[in-house]
Amino acid sequence: MKFKAKVKNSELTVKVKISSNEVISEREIDILENKKIRGLLKPKQRRKNLIDYSGPAGVSLIEHLKKPITRYEFFFIMAQIVDATKKVENNNLFLNNLILDLRYVYINENTKEMQFIYIPVLSNHILLNIIGFMEAIAYAVKLMPNQDFDFVAKYVSFIRSLNHFNISSIEAYISKEDKDVAKQIKNQKVNVDGFIIDKPKDYYEDKMEYCNEETSILESDEETGLLNEYGSTGILDSYEKESMEVLHDNEGTMLLDANEKFNIGSYQENVHFPYLVRTSNSEIISINKPVFRLGKERSYVDYFVTNNNAVSRSHADIITRGKSYFVCDQNSTNHTYINDKVLVIKAETEIHEGDVLKLANEEFTFHI
């Protein structure tokens, strides 16, 4: 499939060209074209293999997560994912046709409301990994300096403990962690069908009361998506095996305006993070996220290990919990070690000041 998105006149449009071997479901396209489902971009079939989607202006989730977010917003994002899956099932649609890809899920930077793409095709047999998508967000997220990292690591541990995607369990967890998020989702369901207001311009005016941050709407015609051959019909079961293309700034992924008032660097200047020192070249790597992934595949990780084929694509995570730090091997081929002791796969092992961390034969020293 090919995706191309842009914002114009406060409205997001996404053009999706489906593969020649996929057939659009007339039943599903009829439901989506004639019924406004809040949280899903509204489709319009233009040709046999081309669908145009429209909705309130937004940036791709992968771009949005480059800026620090609050605890509330983190759980609001998770709650909206759960809510979107419920709406798909409640409207007798096929859950595996929901696109869960950080590049093709969109979020309004003022209201924090998310918009999803549903592809109404008959031939999509990819197994949707919703838990994997939630984990991907946790790996990508950056928090405000005054936020405790612990809640992200605990949420990742919780969803990993589930045998399958369990809506009621996740809803109960989010409600326990932040009742305001549950209340906001409930308020949205009062007007579950359609956008808050039909006119995109009025959409923002109606929702500005919920805004706590000053973020500007992107310039008209700004590109928001990639145009490539990547088959983005869901997150596959294993991020380790999936071959994703590297994103570059010039690929039109809705980069923020340089003059925007929100300055990430200004929030991070006085924040202290633990760090690694790579033995081979003395490089310093700041562990600046609650779940920080190391490996050799750029698309999967927060630190890309160069010039070492012994390291796996997604080799290991460093997890921050309060003032404690843990390493979790992600089923790597050549194992992870702390002070030459091999770590149990998918089990968290605490790491301390001065410990030597090895990814296969690549050595680092951990410092707080």
Between the two ends of the chain, the Cα-to-Cα distance in Å is: 44
Contacts of 145 (CB under 8 A, 6+ apart): 68, 267, 268, 270, 271
Distances from the Cα of 345 to the Cα of 316, 317, 327, 334, angstroms: 9, 11, 10, 11
Per the CB < 8 A criterion, the answer to whether 329 and 316 are in contact is yes
CA-nearest of 117, 119, 155 to 136 is: 155
Task: Convert the pLDDT of each residue in 148-164 to its tens digit.
Answer: 778 998 999 899 888 88
| pLDDT tens for each residue of the chain, 368 residues long | 899 999 988 899 999 998 887 888 888 999 999 888 999 999 999 988 899 999 999 999 999 999 999 999 999 999 999 999 999 989 989 888 999 999 999 999 989 999 999 999 886 556 688 998 999 899 888 888 777 778 998 999 899 888 889 999 999 999 999 888 888 887 765 444 333 333 444 434 444 433 333 333 333 333 433 333 333 333 333 333 333 333 333 333 333 333 333 333 333 334 567 999 999 999 999 898 888 899 998 877 889 999 999 999 999 999 988 789 999 999 999 999 999 999 999 999 999 999 999 999 999 999 99
Domains of the chain: 2-216+226-237 (1.10.510), 275-367 (2.60.200.20)
Q: What is the pLDDT of residue 105?
A: 96
**Which residues are within 8 A (CB) of 344 and not within 5 positions of it... i.e. 6 or more apart?**
329
In the block, tokens 């660097």 appear at 265
Q: At 196, phi and psi to the nearest 5?
A: -55, -45
The edge-to-edge listing of strands for the beta sheet with 42-47 is 42-47, 50-56, 11-17, 2-8, 222-223
pLDDT of residue 29: 92
- pLDDT value at residue 65: 92
CB 200 within 8 A of CB 10: yes
SS3 per residue for 180-227: HHHHHHHHHHHHCCCCCCCCHHHHHHHHHHHCCCCCCCCCCCEECCCC
Picking from 3, 27, 29, 28, the residue whose alpha carbon sits closest to that of residue 17 is 3
Alpha helix ranges (H) inside the chain = 26-34, 61-64, 71-90, 130-140, 150-161, 167-177, 179-188, 200-207, 264-268
Supply 39's token pair.
């949280």
Exposure string for 118-154, b = 16+ CB within 10 A, e = fewer: bbbbeebeeebbbbbbbbbbbbbbbbeeebebebbbe
Alpha-carbon separation of residue 144 from 13, 45, 79, 254, 290 (angstroms): 31, 41, 20, 22, 11
